[in-house]
Amino acid sequence: MSELIHSRSTRWLLAGAGLIVTAVLFGLPLLTLVLASIAGEWTRALPTHPTLAHLRAALGGAQRAALWHSLATGVGATLAALVLGVWGALASRDAPRLVRRGVDAVFLLPVAIPSVSIGLALLVAFSHPPLLLNGTVALVGVTHVVLITAYAYASAQAGIARLPAGVEEMAGSLGATPSRVLVRVTLPLLLPQLRAAAALGFALSMGELGATIMIYPPGWVTAPVEVFSLTDRGSLFAGAALSVWLLATTFGALWLLDRRGSPRRTALARRRSDA
Amino acid sequence: MNETPWATPRDGLESPQIRVQALSVRYGDHAVLDRIDLSVAAGEVVVLLGASGSGKTTLLRAIAGFTAPTGGRIALGATDVTRAPPYARGLGLVVQNYALFPHLRVADNVAFGLRARKLPRAQIERTVARFLEMTGMAAYAQRYPRELSGGQQQRVAIARALAIEPPALLLDEPLSALDAPLRAEMLEELRRLHAQLPNTAIVYVTHDQTEAIAIGHRIVLLHQGRIVADGAPRHLHDAPPNRYTAEFFGQANLLPARILDTPPGADGARGYVAVRIADRTIWARRSADAPASGEVLLCVRPHDLRLDADPAAVSEGNRLDGVVRSSQWLGASQRAVVDIGPATVRVDRPASAPLPAAGARVQVTFAAERAVLLADR
């Protein structure tokens, strides 16, 4: 078996097969989406009468608002999920096993339940005073936070398990208060995991439809909901155009996150190397 | 160990830097530390020596504030810190795996404790430069820890701990991750650093007696959560107060013996005691807590024994008849294992001596002043 894997021709064959599967499964749908967004007509194998009209239209009116709503919800929900997830992971790390299992379940279960059910459950749960959030933007935010905190929690937990031994204790012995240890040592060391969690959570929030469609108020239509209603009304090209912008926005935000998240240089080090 | 026959530095302490009183750490019924009393004076280097599980690291962690004692008190200077969190104690700590902050450069690692104290920036830079200079790491200020060798990382860890100018430095097996030549170099380095900071007390945890002897003014030997010996390295080596100390410290030979009614003679007059071992009368010193009569243990170090094949050649001193069981050349020395009656002794000899053959009948000889009697417990 290992001989098979190590032979050069087999390696090329495997790489080729992988490339084809990736292209068919992931590339083709994306290509279709992009082609549909610039299609004037699509009656044959390939679209005809290419146009930028759909893409242009998607940057105005209700569709532009939907993009903005998605971006705002995504950023807000990601930040809230990071705070909640890291808090939960830090708080439960030294807890008894049973407590930790309980916290695990609370944070991770939403991933295992259909998002439509989550939406419905939140709708019912927050429909009576004093927790009356029905028909508010806040409920959209809460729903997204509930759906994506699992990723922040799981990533933070993995990061905490990999923290170098003794560094937090060492910071304490050097005179750092617990809050200083958190800000100067623990969180910076969790940064790679938090970045990954933020990217995943944000991407999931940007594309979230199932739960949002149950709870969104009329004034806060998100991009996926708008795409759904456009295609539902038969405006397939307009829906594809908005999807392309949604994709671009998400990638743009993730790219920014990746650039900003590279290891920071502290003040002293910067001064020294500039000198 | 109040019975130790020599004056230890703590006897004369006015205000110790660290004072531990009746300190206990228990997990359920298991006592990791059992009513430990320990004082460390300013400038004193105390080594906590012991096998793994002896409680030495727990004692250090309790002093540092990471392990909460279940009983007893810890004071730093005049301040009781038994319940104080680690960050309020102001002690320098160096651990085996260095625990450098991987996301910070060397200079920022060293500056960490100073920034936590919110000192002025100029003072922080001065102090960081001073301690990096002192540890020979000034050229590496802008490196990240991952770009340094193990020895360099340990130097940074020491600089970081010293930068907060602690009254006491706690070192937990600081050299165990280094290879032997580097360990020797770092030991020398630590002695040099301590000479530059003569008022800093050092508590040094190790399981390595060579390290303990090299650096300690005083060695505190722990066994099963208790202090079994406390004294200067030379004293513990030459006159171990008990069996465990003799065995742990320098791998002493221990021979069962019975104290004789001291006959009048030159040796008795000089303070030696006569004992019976394998039909021979042997003279030895008596340790402070050895019984005055009955069964005792004769403790003699392998390098204090000599081998002689010709009984006529030995005219003076103690001698025992034995049969060589095995012998081995070890490079700088050779070691013979000799059966003496039911007991066995190890004899270390110069490498240049002829290697005795297994089965050869020999005489094992040693001076009375190099042999000490211990209580058999």
Structural domain containing residue A90: 38-274
Mean pLDDT of chain A: 88
Q: Which of B301, B340, B306 is nearest to B322 (CA)?
A: B340
Which candidate from B95, B102, B108 shows the least CB-CB separation from A269? B108
A29 found inside a domain: no
Q: Report pTM.
A: 0.80
pLDDT at B116 over 80: yes
- CB of B283 within 8 Å of a chain A CB? The answer is no
Q: What tens digit of pLDDT does each residue of B167-210 get?
A: 999 999 999 888 888 888 889 989 999 999 889 999 999 999 88
- What local confidence, expressed as pLDDT, does residue A156 receive? 94
A25 found inside a domain: no
Burial tier of B333 (Cβ tally within 10 Å: 0-12, 13-18, 19+): middle
Mean pLDDT over residues B88-117, rounded? Answer: 94
Contact yes or no for A233/A218 (Cβ under 8 A): no
A64 found inside a domain: yes
Gap between the Cα atoms of B149 and B186, Å rounded: 13
pLDDT at A250 over 70: yes
Gap between the Cα atoms of B262 and B260, Å rounded: 6
Confidence of residue A260 (pLDDT cuts 50, 70, 90): low
Mean pLDDT of chain B: 87
Extended beta strands in B62-207, E state = 71-76, 79-80, 92-95, 168-172, 201-206
Gap between the Cα atoms of B98 and B153, Å rounded: 7
pLDDT at A264 over 80: no
pLDDT at B11 over 80: no
- What local confidence, expressed as pLDDT, does residue B343 receive? 87
Gap between the Cα atoms of B319 and A239, Å rounded: 104
Chosen from A94, A167, A174, A274 to mutate, greatest number of chain B CBs within 10 A: A174
Element holding B228 (H helix, E strand)? strand B226-231
Residues from chain B contacting residue A172 (CB–CB below 8 Å): 65-66, 85-87
Confidence of residue B263 (pLDDT cuts 50, 70, 90): low
Gap between the Cα atoms of B15 and B265, Å rounded: 47
- What local confidence, expressed as pLDDT, does residue B317 receive? 79
Side-chain half-sphere CA neighbours of A107 within 13 A: 26
Q: How far apart, in Å, are the Cα atoms of B211 and each of A145, B127, B176?
A: 56, 29, 10
Confidence of residue A4 (pLDDT cuts 50, 70, 90): low
A257 found inside a domain: yes
Mean pLDDT over residues B263-270, rounded? Answer: 59
A13 found inside a domain: no
Structurally, chain A folds into a number of domains equal to 1
Contact yes or no for B35/B22 (Cβ under 8 A): yes
ipTM for the complex shown? 0.80
Name the token pair of A25.
């499964």
Which candidate from A175, A189, A263 shows the least CB-CB separation from B116? A175
Residue in chain B lying closest to A272 (CA)? B142
Q: What tens digit of pLDDT does each residue of A141-180 get?
A: 999 999 999 999 999 999 999 999 899 999 999 999 999 9
Q: How far apart, in Å, are the Cα atoms of B153 and each of A243, B141, B148, B177?
A: 52, 12, 6, 11
Contact yes or no for B258/B335 (Cβ under 8 A): no
Confidence of residue A135 (pLDDT cuts 50, 70, 90): confident
CB contact under 8 A, B112 and A174: yes
CB contact under 8 A, B105 and A266: yes
Which candidate from A165, A177, A272 shows the least CB-CB separation from B99? A165
Question: For chain B, what is the radius of gyration of the CA atoms?
Answer: 25
Rank A178-187, B241-250, B325-334, B368-377 by mean pLDDT and report only the highest: A178-187
Confidence of residue B20 (pLDDT cuts 50, 70, 90): very high
Q: Which of A250, A251, A249, A229 is nearest to A239 (CA)?
A: A229
- What local confidence, expressed as pLDDT, does residue B1 receive? 37
Contacts of B342 (CB under 8 A, 6+ apart): none
- What local confidence, expressed as pLDDT, does residue A246 receive? 92
A268 found inside a domain: yes
CB pairs under 8 A between A and B: 84
- CB of A176 within 8 Å of a chain B CB? The answer is yes
CB contact under 8 A, B101 and A185: yes
CATH number at residue A269: 1.10.3720.10
Look at A2-11, A100-109, B48-57 and tell me which has the smallest mean pLDDT. A2-11
Residues from chain B contacting residue A176 (CB–CB below 8 Å): 87, 112-113, 116
A177 found inside a domain: yes
Confidence of residue B65 (pLDDT cuts 50, 70, 90): very high
CB contact under 8 A, B99 and A174: no
Gap between the Cα atoms of B160 and A182, Å rounded: 19
Q: Which 63-82 residues of chain B touch chain A by CB within 8 A?
A: 64-66
A27 found inside a domain: no
Nearest-Cα distance to chain A for B172, in Å, is: 12
Gap between the Cα atoms of B11 and A54, Å rounded: 91
Q: Which 186-215 residues of chain A touch chain B by CB within 8 A?
A: 188-189, 191
Mean pLDDT over residues A236-265, rounded? Answer: 82
Gap between the Cα atoms of B325 and B64, Å rounded: 49
Q: What tens digit of pLDDT does each residue of A55-77 get?
A: 988 888 888 999 999 999 999 99
Mean pLDDT over residues B3-32, rounded? Answer: 69
- What local confidence, expressed as pLDDT, does residue B280 receive? 85
pLDDT at A270 over 50: no
Residues from chain A contacting residue B128 (CB–CB below 8 Å): 268
